[in-house]
Amino acid sequence: MNKIGVLLMVFILLGMGYTAYSFFTDKEPGDISTLERINGEDSIQLNHFIGVKKTILQFVAVPCDCCSFSMPFIQEFIREQDEIEVITVVFYGREREILDKFENEYEAEHLWGVDLNRDLANHYDVSVSPTYVFFDESGNVLGNHPYIIGTSEELGKRYEDAYNKFQSEEAS
């Protein structure tokens, strides 16, 4: 089996595991307005972004090879524009591994935090990683894109497509 086949199989198995976990855990929804930080920085108040400016929540797991593959493109997208805020939400992993990935391997320059109790992920029906949830400046959920995005241009295009589709549906 080639590397892509192995990655695809791992991705599918992780997705099935997250789906089963979400299905069998019965708990009250928690706080979906605050994203905790494990790197010593203040929590991220999502209402400072969602409903204020165009926003993408990128949901990832650690470890996740597909998520790691996409991280350089996320960084590039953020550097190339300032109209859309991207916030990475880690909804699966161990804190030590997450911290190592984001501070050492990714050298993340953007906002990121953890949702290890899966309140945000469950609220937005995220069960696979990576998944991108798109918001307009009014806070409307435009849609989501589960699975890998391979370039910063693709991320911009997927956001634009979701934005335009939502606008045309609202107009009709």
Per-residue pLDDT 10s for the chain (172 aa) are: 676 665 556 556 555 555 555 544 444 457 799 999 999 999 999 999 999 999 999 999 999 999 999 999 999 999 999 999 999 999 999 999 999 999 999 999 899 999 999 999 999 999 999 999 999 999 999 999 998 998 999 999 999 999 999 999 988 8
The domain covering 3-171 belongs, at the CATH homologous superfamily level, to Glutaredoxin (3.40.30.10)
pTM for the structure as a whole: 0.82
Distance between CA atoms of residues 99 and 104, nearest Å = 8
CA atoms within 13 A on the CB side of 40: 1
The pair of three-digit structure tokens given for residue 125, joined into one six-digit string: 């029906």
Distance between CA atoms of residues 7 and 13, nearest Å = 10
Closest CA to 16 of 68, 74, 61, 67: 61
Q: How many residues does the chain have?
A: 172
Strand residue runs (E) in the chain: 34-35, 44-45, 54-61, 84-92, 111-114, 131-135, 141-146
